[in-house]
Structure 1
């Protein structure tokens, strides 16, 4: 009981990713710039889709949920990392660590299934355009979005419940810039092999199942594009799908690299670099990829800007 009280009252130490050398100060400033762009880009995407009635379609509803997830994901890790770096304090409470793990795992899981739903949406739009309003009705689209959040949250609850049930001892120094489960497990006083296997099974479900849906959807999409008689039709169909495939490739590649390897094969430096890629860089790239390649989003943005200038006048 005394050990349990000690665990609950103890803080962990986040070793971080930067020191105060000139190179790392520059990299830290770069991360803050990326965070700012990601925060503004995803916020603008959510607001544009909410405000413009012409964007109230299944594709843009799912896109707004992706932007919301990216916004929450980057806010889960970067503000705490920034506070610790600027203040010189590296501690994080058990409650704070648990909150980070829950939000991080939940958002990753939710985004996995949301990307699969977006692939299915593109499959229906290109392969069954006449039945699109039926197969991707507003009700079905909302059900897909809500299901993504629910499944992700369920995964987060399981992981956090098991991860914080282990005793942690020693230096309590987490070799990461946030409370990531694989990094936290290295501090456990007991064997975590069973939990590692549980995590692997969760990763198979949360990563490989959506990937299978995405691959199946895009195989059908590519076949449909090849069979199109119009070159303009093929170009538009490819442009519509290429943005989503770019996001999928970046997101799933990094996530599989992190979570589908045993803890014994992990390198803290590699894990921090890859984690920084898909928790900081990817949320910035997503709105840029979708907005720069999407005329509807650009039109909505110019429309909102026009209204803002007219109100100022």
Structure 2
């Protein structure tokens, strides 16, 4: 009820505040470095935001300022590290659990990419099954079960319900991602949720891992690119399996800020087909 009080109470949560200040310090240094660059040499997000601050300096209602810039970069930094890494961990666990699906992804990657040295984001259009598998991992893992907290700024009505001004709203993303009205097998790993009858990739309107509306995740496109490139490169390079003698996968969530998989060991075995003839496969 009183989140501000946490800063004044002892406990392990104080470490979180220390990390936050360390991140803020790092970002502040980056902002200072961008200020020293010539305007024509600046093309990244921080530089563009700083340019917008300059343009709106005389606008009394402008929200472009360095404090907001710092917070936005923090949001992108945290959102683009923890959630992306967690989603990839879940995806690899599902590949170990569903060996036949992993083999089909690798077959598609080999057939479509051939001897291409790297995976490009544009390749996703030619890799419908790989793309569907990654989307299904995002849907089933539901890394962020509840979207960011919002507040209704004016009284309104939604589907016949009255929503007073000031109402706190928490979008239940997990309920949509596991809704049996939108997914054939909502509790099972099924890439067919994102494939039409001809095997082409298709978008499902209930796929909302990044939330929805004007206040959806600002790192949506960045995360999509990161996830596809990392997942396709990993599956093209390695075969993932459990170590010998391991009893099996643990699929229960670890509840926290995000829904993490249980700590467990997975072997990444180099694939011979991913190496060029002049390069022997790496050691195990």
Q: Which has the higher strand share?
A: 2
**Of the two, which has the highest radius of gyration?**
2
Check whether TM > 0.5. no
* Highest RCO, 1 vs 2 (Cα 8 Å, sep ≥ 6): 1
